[in-house]
Amino acid sequence: MMTLFFHIFICIILIIFQTTVFPGIRIFNEFYDLLAPFVIYLGVFRPTREGFPMVLILGFTMDGISGSPLGLYITTYFWLFIGVQWVIQFLHVGNFLILSIVVACGIALESIIHFSIIAIQTSISEIPHFAIITGVRQILWAVFTGPLLLYLFLFLQKKMSAWYGGFLSD
Amino acid sequence: MFSKRMVLIIGVIVLVAVNMIWLSVHSKRPYPSSGPDRNALTFISPFQEAVTLTSRFLKGVWFHYFDLVSTGMENDRLLKELEMSLETINRLEEERLANIRLRNLLEFQENADAHGIAAEVIGKDPSPWFKTIIINKGRKDNIGKGMPVVVPQGIVGQVIDATAGYAKVLLVIDQNSAVDALVQNTRARGIIKGEPPGGCILQYVLRRHDLMVGETVIASGLDGVFPKGLRIGRISEIVKQNAGIFQEVVIRPYVDFEKLEEVLVIPVPPKHEFTNP
């Protein structure tokens, strides 16, 4: 239960950060979705029974605050989570490079899903220049900062577990 | 033979005389190059020097310390005052800017027959692919789905969702947005659609209309959402294909969506009644 509250707390922080702080900073205008690394973290480092409900909560929340069609974020996070769980059966995700690739692929998957929805909505036949630029920038951001975020989540989780363990033993 | 008193007087006189002679002789050579007095000087001076220097050092340290302490304290006080002044200036500047914005909003509300509800933008869409904002007024402020959202510069968008305290606004630059519009001078009609990554396009404008870059595009009011006459943007590019009955017009919105802070939600689109002349 404590872990669930902790995950919800992290999600709230990330959502607030990327809807209020990032839009005010020009350099972060095309930053990737901060919750995608969190979904990857849940997929890589947490058991499925813990991660899966959280992924659904996250998707539902993001669908609520975004102007995207309802279900887009749930779909994105669900497939991201499933994909990560599948990938970690073959890859050793302990090192920075592999994590970078996993996060970059996750962000690419999210961009592809989102852009596909836009393409369906607007009936466009070819990928516009801006979409490629935005996608590439997001992936580059993800390559360099994504694994750091994963390590940060891992660190915070360990700290929280240690603190809670100590609290219970007292 | 001599009395004691006589001996004492003679002794004093001799002593005075010898003293005077000594003085008169030595006054001609005041600074001897050698002598016992120099030994004293050699012996005493280092101590004098040490004590003097030490005392000067201590005095210096003492006074400088207190000087530094008082200077440091004064520095701290001045820095604090400076910070407070900067904070006050910043706050006043923010209030001045907010005052200008709110005054514009109020004037706009009074002039434009658009008695609306002022709201603050509290969040933006987490995805760069979709263009929505969240405002801090909702159903309890009589805000509902479909209401137009405007600022003095022009149309912002329309409410697509509202909770008790908050509402989500779809911006006109989102690809899902559509506004019935007119070109102000030529009265050419079309539909303003959002165009990623943050512009607009005026679609379905007949080729026969001669449009000019820089012309203003306004809401036609025919969509039943936005009041007629509200500004949307300026024509920045006109694309006439060789074939087809329509021309494509790129619009640059008047509203700077990156800097949106306060907006006005119009609860019910005002009815425009025609009066007989």
Whole-number pLDDT of residue B48: 61
Q: Is the ipTM of this complex over 0.95?
A: no
Whole-number pLDDT of residue B112: 59
Q: Are A154 and A41 in contact (CB under 8 A)?
A: yes
Where a domain ends, among B93, B111, B129? Answer: B111
**First CA to last CA distance, chain A:** 19
Q: Please tell me if residue B19 touches chain A, with a CB cutoff of 8 Å.
A: no
3-state SS class at B86: helix
From the list A20, A33, A122, the residue facing B127 with the nearest CB is: A33
Calculate mean pLDDT across residues A69-82.
87
**CATH code assigned at B199:** 2.40.10.340
Does the residue B72 lie in any domain? yes
Q: Are A100 and B160 in contact (CB under 8 A)?
A: no
Does the residue B7 lie in any domain? no
Whole-number pLDDT of residue B1: 63
Calculate mean pLDDT across residues A17-26.
79
From the list B174, B196, B258, the residue facing A67 with the nearest CB is: B174
Query: Residue B232 and residue B202: Cα distance in Å, rounded?
Result: 11
Whole-number pLDDT of residue B27: 59
For chain A, the domain total comes to: 1
Identify the sign of the CA torsion A91, A92, A93, A97: negative
- Highest-pLDDT range among A55-69, A120-134, B12-26: A55-69
Calculate mean pLDDT across residues A117-131.
75
Q: Give A 101-130 residues with CB within 8 A of chain B.
A: 114-115, 118, 121-122, 128, 130
Q: What percent of chain A has pLDDT over 70?
A: 98
Max CA-CA distance within chain B? 160
Q: Please tell me if residue A165 touches chain B, with a CB cutoff of 8 Å.
A: no
Interchain proximity A20–B127, CB inside 8 Å: no
For chain B, the domain total comes to: 2
Q: Please tell me if residue B168 touches chain A, with a CB cutoff of 8 Å.
A: yes
- C-alpha B150 chain-centroid distance: 26
B121 and B246 part of one domain: yes
Identify the sign of the CA torsion B57, B59, B64, B65: positive
Q: Would you say how long chain A is, in residues?
A: 170
B258 and B131 part of one domain: yes
Does the residue B172 lie in any domain? yes
Where a domain ends, among B89, B111, B133? Answer: B111
Query: Residue B254 and residue B250: Cα distance in Å, rounded?
Result: 13
Query: Which residues does chain B have with pLDDT short of 50?
Result: 40-41, 270, 277
Strands B262-265 vs B246-253: parallel, antiparallel or unpaired: unpaired
Does the residue B187 lie in any domain? yes
Does the residue A137 lie in any domain? yes
Interchain proximity A130–B174, CB inside 8 Å: no
Q: Are B154 and B170 in contact (CB under 8 A)?
A: no
B146 and B197 part of one domain: yes
B72 and B209 part of one domain: no
Whole-number pLDDT of residue B38: 53
B71 and B154 part of one domain: no
Interchain proximity B126–A62, CB inside 8 Å: yes
Which among A40, A42, A34 is positioned nearest to A18, based on CA atoms?
A: A34
Does the residue A10 lie in any domain? yes
pLDDT tens column, A153-163: 989 988 888 88
Question: What would you report as the CA-atom Rg of chain B, rounded to the nearest whole angstrom?
Answer: 47
The strand pairing partners of B51, in sequence order, are: none
| Structural domain span for residue B208 | 117-265
**Of residues A122 and B272, which shows the higher confidence score?**
A122
**Structure-block tokens of residue B158:** 């329309």
B206 phi and psi angles, rounded to 5 deg: -65, 145
Place of tokens 């849940």: A42
Interface test with chain A among B120, B121, B124, B257, by most A beta carbons within 10 Å: B124
Spell out which residues of chain B touch residue A28, defining contact as CB-CB under 8 Å. Answer: none
Please check the confidence at residue A94 and state whether its pLDDT lies above 90: no
- C-alpha A38 chain-centroid distance: 4
| Structural domain span for residue A108 | 2-23+34-165
Whole-number pLDDT of residue B268: 67
Interchain proximity B124–A19, CB inside 8 Å: yes
Does the residue A85 lie in any domain? yes
B128 and B221 part of one domain: yes
Please check the confidence at residue A65 and state whether its pLDDT lies above 80: yes
Does the residue B76 lie in any domain? yes
Please check the confidence at residue A38 and state whether its pLDDT lies above 80: yes
Torsion on CA atoms B41, B47, B51, B52, rounded to nearest 10 = 30
Whole-number pLDDT of residue B109: 67
Segment (H or E) for A103: helix A96-122
Q: Which residues are CB-contacts of B77 (< 8 A; sequence separation ≥ 6)?
A: none
